């Protein structure tokens, strides 16, 4: 099963894509992905129910979040109200160590994204302040990152033994599915996604 | 250049692309028409002194180029909204390409949404946005 | 700089008003330089001759931000949205009124950034002709 693990809809301040249009695009362009995760900036969208769209287009549509930490941006999968009570998702200065600790405690998982980008990615911060224990996965392929930024992510993963995911970081419809993550088995919900990620048995793929 | 009706358009359709004229002479012409007198748009050396890699295309010119692509595709298109994000500088005298693709068609309202991007020769997105148009 | 405080003090208050004249030769130069080929934008003899929809982005009020707005850094152009309401033709005298429409923050490639959305509403003979949202970003200078 292939999922684009990093996409934004109009629920994000800089997102310009409607979820329905992502679905239409995937099907019309016959993209080789089975679904995507909406990782809205600094929030978790409890309100929207995408199941009717998922059924209509036979796609897996899951929800996560992209939070901002002292080591750059981080995708969070398996978000619950309890996790949001423990972490202020709206803050732009969350300590990464705390995000890792709280996600672990609340059956979620944190994945630093676009690590090769300056400031918003963890590479430069690691160079300055060293690694943060607890990171197991980073985003290896990001649809919005430049070649050298993805290369920096690969180097970071190699040096630290991190596993890697892929995500398009789409903000407009036509950017969905540029990068994704291939899982050996089915993923059918947020809990199942967390489990699949924790198994570390997956592979980042790109069509950039 | 051609007129189009709503039924001529298909979801996922690519707009014909064109290479925008980002020469110093043309950008200077635009900057003068737009009353943008900062020499970062019209003088490579002055731009370098401001810490830029060279003269840059004004953001509003990039935006206007994307609108021109929509009108080249459908000359009768009435633009209702365009929202552009300037991600990185567009450099003067460097080749760039614009692209557009239909990503939403609202039959009831007869509105069409188009994703727009302006990329440099390395394929890096410098400007992206969306436009909402009606075909009358 | 606390965002909530800025919002409370500055959102939705008109801070500037100016008048702008629309001239045919400027329309033609703006349109042709940006690659327009449609006669109604490039040919003053076209019966429907008008400014391209984003022509209004060339109009700036005297002030970028309210006069008393805290000096937190140099605002850079991060994006623009234009809501086109009706054709603007040469000879029009537009009245532009500006207010701060939104303020928010996020971290970017160069650190913490504060986004200010300045909205200019342009009126042609009292009727709203266009809205221009200018997104400005101010990069916070690290204090360490």
C143 close to A (CB below 8 A): no
As a whole number, mean pLDDT of residues A40-56 equals 97
Contact A68, A39 (CB under 8 A): no
Does residue C1 or residue C83 have the better pLDDT?
C83
Residues in chain B: 136
Contact B103, B114 (CB under 8 A): yes
Residue tagged 């709206």 (tokens):
A90
Using a CB-CB cut-off of 8 Å, the residues of chain C touching A41 are 106
CA distance B116 to chain C (A): 13
As a whole number, mean pLDDT of residues A142-163 equals 95
Burial (CB count within 10 angstroms: exposed 0-12, middle 13-18, buried 19+), residue C85 = middle
Phi, psi values for residue C97, rounded to 5°: -120, 135
Q: Supply A9's token pair.
A: 């809809």
As a whole number, mean pLDDT of residues A28-49 equals 97
Contact B55, B27 (CB under 8 A): yes
Residues in chain C: 144
Three-state secondary-structure class, residue A121: coil
- Whether B133 shows a pLDDT value over 90: the answer reads yes
Phi, psi values for residue C46, rounded to 5°: -65, 135
Ordered by start, the domain boundaries in chain C are 3-22+59-139
Of C104, C105, C107, the CB nearest to A120: C107
C109 close to A (CB below 8 A): yes
Supply the CATH number for residue B114's domain: 3.10.129.10
A105 close to B (CB below 8 A): no
CA distance C97 to chain B (A): 19
Residue B43: inside a domain, yes or no?
Answer: no
Q: Supply C63's token pair.
A: 């002030």
Q: Residue A188 gets which letter from DSSP? A: -
Q: Residue B89 gets which letter from DSSP? A: P
Tell me the percentage of chain B whose pLDDT exceeds 70: 99
Residue B73: inside a domain, yes or no?
Answer: yes
* B25-78 per-position pLDDT tens digit: 999 999 999 999 999 999 999 999 988 899 999 999 999 999 999 999 999 999
Sort strands A163-167 and A179-182 into parallel, antiparallel or unpaired.
unpaired
Three-state secondary-structure class, residue C131: strand
A30 close to B (CB below 8 A): no
Of the pLDDT bands very low, low, confident and very high (cuts 50, 70, 90), residue C144 is very low
CA distance B69 to chain A (A): 17
Q: For chain B, how many structural domains are there in total?
A: 1
Nearest Cα to Cα of residue A76 among A203, A199, A193: A193
Query: Residue C38 to residues A115, B26, B69, B77, B80: CA-CA distances in angstroms?
Result: 44, 18, 10, 10, 17
Q: Cβ B63–C84 below 8 Å, yes or no? A: no
Mean pLDDT of chain C: 90
* B106-125 per-position pLDDT tens digit: 999 999 999 999 999 988 88
- Whether C130 shows a pLDDT value over 50: the answer reads yes
- Angle (CA) C60-B32-B45 rounded to 5° is 105
| Chain A interface, best mutation among B88, B115, B117, B121, by max A CB count within 10 A | B115
Residue B30: inside a domain, yes or no?
Answer: no
| Chain C interface, best mutation among A99, A120, A148, by max C CB count within 10 A | A120
Contact A22, A7 (CB under 8 A): yes
How far is C102 from A56, CA to CA, in rounded Å? Answer: 36
Residue B31: inside a domain, yes or no?
Answer: no
CATH number of C3-22+59-139: 3.10.129.10
Q: Residue B27 gets which letter from DSSP? A: H
Three-state secondary-structure class, residue B103: strand
Three-state secondary-structure class, residue A179: strand
Mean pLDDT of chain A: 96
* B94-104 per-position pLDDT tens digit: 999 999 999 99
Task: Write down the pLDDT at residue C109.
Answer: 63
Q: Cβ A174–B103 below 8 Å, yes or no? A: yes
Of the pLDDT bands very low, low, confident and very high (cuts 50, 70, 90), residue A149 is very high
Using a CB-CB cut-off of 8 Å, the residues of chain B touching C36 are 64, 67-68, 71
Specify the CATH number for A2-206; select among 3.20.20.140, 3.40.47.10, 3.40.190.170, 3.10.20.30. Answer: 3.20.20.140
Contact A22, A29 (CB under 8 A): no
Query: Residue B20 to residues A14, A31, B12, B26, C31: CA-CA distances in angstroms?
Result: 26, 30, 23, 10, 12
Q: Cβ B103–A17 below 8 Å, yes or no? A: yes
Contact A154, A160 (CB under 8 A): no
Residue tagged 């990503």 (tokens):
B103
Chains within contact range of chain A (3+ C-beta pairs < 8 Å): B, C
CB atoms within 10 A of CB B18: 16
Contact A27, A57 (CB under 8 A): yes
- Whether A158 shows a pLDDT value over 60: the answer reads yes
Task: Write down the pLDDT at residue A28.
Answer: 96
- The residue range of the domain holding B66 is 10-22+58-135
Strand partners, B133: B79, B112
Using a CB-CB cut-off of 8 Å, the residues of chain C touching B59 are 77, 79-80
Q: Where are the beta strands (DSSP E) in chain A?
A: 2-7, 35-41, 60-69, 72-77, 109-112, 137-142, 163-167, 179-182, 203-206
B128 close to C (CB below 8 A): no
Q: Within 13 Å, how many C-alpha atoms sit on residue A198's CB side?
A: 15
Task: Write down the pLDDT at residue C110.
Answer: 63
How far is B5 from B124, CA to CA, in rounded Å? Answer: 33
How far is A64 from A37, CA to CA, in rounded Å? Answer: 6
Task: Write down the pLDDT at residue C1.
Answer: 67
């Amino acid at each position: 099963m292939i999922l684009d693990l990093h996409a934004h809809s109009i629920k994000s301040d800089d997102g310009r894509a409607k979820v329905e249009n992502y679905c239409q695009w995937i099907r019309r362009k016959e993209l080789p992905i089975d679904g995507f995760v909406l990782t809205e900036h600094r929030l978790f969208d409890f309100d929207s129910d995408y199941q009717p769209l998922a059924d209509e287009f036979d796609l897996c549509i899951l929800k996560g979040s992209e939070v901002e930490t002292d080591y750059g941006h981080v995708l969070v999968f398996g978000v619950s109200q309890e996790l949001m009570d423990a972490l202020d998702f709206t803050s732009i200065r969350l300590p990464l160590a705390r995000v890792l600790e709280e996600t672990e405690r609340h059956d979620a998982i944190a994945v630093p994204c676009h690590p090769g980008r300056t400031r918003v990615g963890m590479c430069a911060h690691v160079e300055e302040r060293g690694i943060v224990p607890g990171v197991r996965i980073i985003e290896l392929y990001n649809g919005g990152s430049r070649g050298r930024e993805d290369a920096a992510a690969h180097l970071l993963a190699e040096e630290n033994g991190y596993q890697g995911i892929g995500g398009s970081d789409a903000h407009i419809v036509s950017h969905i599915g540029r990068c994704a993550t291939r899982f050996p088995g089915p993923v059918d919900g947020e809990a199942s996604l967390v489990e699949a990620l924790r198994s570390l048995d997956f592979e980042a793929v790109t069509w950039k | 250049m051609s007129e189009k009706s709503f039924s001529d358009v298909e979801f996922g359709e690519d707009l014909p692309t064109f290479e925008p004229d980002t020469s110093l002479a043309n950008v200077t012409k635009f900057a003068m028409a737009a009353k943008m007198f900062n020499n970062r748009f019209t003088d490579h050396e002055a731009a370098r002194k401001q810490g830029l890699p060279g003269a840059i295309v004004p953001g509003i010119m990039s935006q206007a180029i994307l609108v021109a692509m929509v009108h080249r595709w459908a000359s009768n298109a009435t633009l209702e909204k365009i929202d552009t994000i300037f991600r990185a500088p567009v450099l003067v005298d460097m080749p760039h390409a614009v692209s557009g693709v239909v990503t939403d068609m609202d039959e009831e309202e007869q509105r069409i949404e188009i994703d727009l991007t302006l990329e440099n020769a390395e394929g890096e997105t410098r400007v992206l946005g969306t436009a909402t148009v009606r075909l009358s | 700089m606390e965002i909530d405080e800025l919002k409370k003090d500055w959102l939705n208050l008109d801070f500037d008003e100016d008048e702008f004249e629309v001239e045919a030769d400027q329309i033609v130069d703006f349109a042709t330089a940006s690659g327009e080929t449609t006669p109604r934008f490039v040919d003053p003899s076209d019966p429907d001759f008008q400014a391209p929809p984003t022509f209004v982005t060339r109009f700036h009020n005297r002030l970028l931000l309210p006069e008393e707005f805290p000096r937190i850094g140099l605002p850079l152009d991060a994006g623009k949205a234009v809501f086109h309401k009706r054709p603007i033709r040469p000879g029009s005298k537009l009245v532009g009124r500006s207010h701060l429409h939104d303020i928010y923050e996020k971290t970017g490639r160069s650190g913490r950034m504060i986004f200010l959305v300045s909205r200019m509403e342009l009126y042609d003979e009292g009727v709203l002709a266009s809205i221009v949202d200018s997104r400005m970003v101010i990069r916070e200078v690290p204090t360490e």
